[in-house]
Amino acid sequence: MIDHSDKSKIYGTTILTVRKGGKVVVIGDGQVSLGDTILKGNARKVRPLQGGEVVGGFAGSTADAMTLFERLEARLEQYPGQLTRACVEMAKDWRTDRYLRKLEAMMIVADKNVSLVITGTGDVLEPENGVIAIGSGGNYAVAAARALIDSDKSAEDICLKSMQIAADICVYTNNNFTIEILDSLD
């Protein structure tokens, strides 16, 4: 759990991934907060990687996340078409490298085969039900998405509705969404 009492640190965001009906959707809000102040409302925290074959989203420090995206891109070049392997190798680096260990961010990445969460503690986790979220509003978004996953709604509609719910509850999440969609093999 993040301690939001330190007003000098940037907190919050919500990143959600839903895999359903031959699509994988990664969506993120655009709010950047410093303590109780909104610094920016339209940050792009979800972006394509590896020529659009992979989509990634981050929660946490922007500079730290950019460093991690660069490291992941390098690992994806080293292990093309092997997202899980690239993520495991990056997570090992993140956990063991003295510089990287201090980075404060989490990532969700997805390709046509798999969705994963990567943490600085060495975790590379795949969701059981195709739904996963991170960030200060992540628990709200994932709860809403799990409630909707068995409905007739598309992955994109589930993501949009779930993020709207998270934004209504979490003060560190707004309604300015970035969404990326890939075809999946499910």
pLDDT tens-place string over residues 26-35: 999 999 888 7
The per-residue pLDDT for 30 is: 94
Task: Please check whether residue 3 lies inside any domain of the structure.
Answer: no
Of the candidate ranges 33-42, 109-118, 170-179, the one whose mean pLDDT is the lowest: 33-42
- 186 assigned to some structural domain: no
Residue 28 inside a domain? The answer is yes
Over 110-155, what HEC string results? ECCCCEEEECCCCCEECCCCCEEEEECCHHHHHHHHHHHCCCCCCH
The answer to whether the pTM exceeds 0.85 is yes
The answer to whether residue 25 sits within a structural domain is yes
Active-site residues: which are they? 13
Q: Within a domain: residue 4? A: no
Query: What is the per-residue pLDDT across 42-93, written as a single tens digit (0 to 9) for each?
Result: 999 999 999 999 999 998 877 777 888 898 999 999 999 999 999 999 888 7
* Assigned domain for 34 exists: yes
Total domain count, the chain: 1
- Asked whether residue 1 is domain-assigned, the answer is no
Q: What is the CATH number of the domain that holds 109?
A: 3.60.20.10
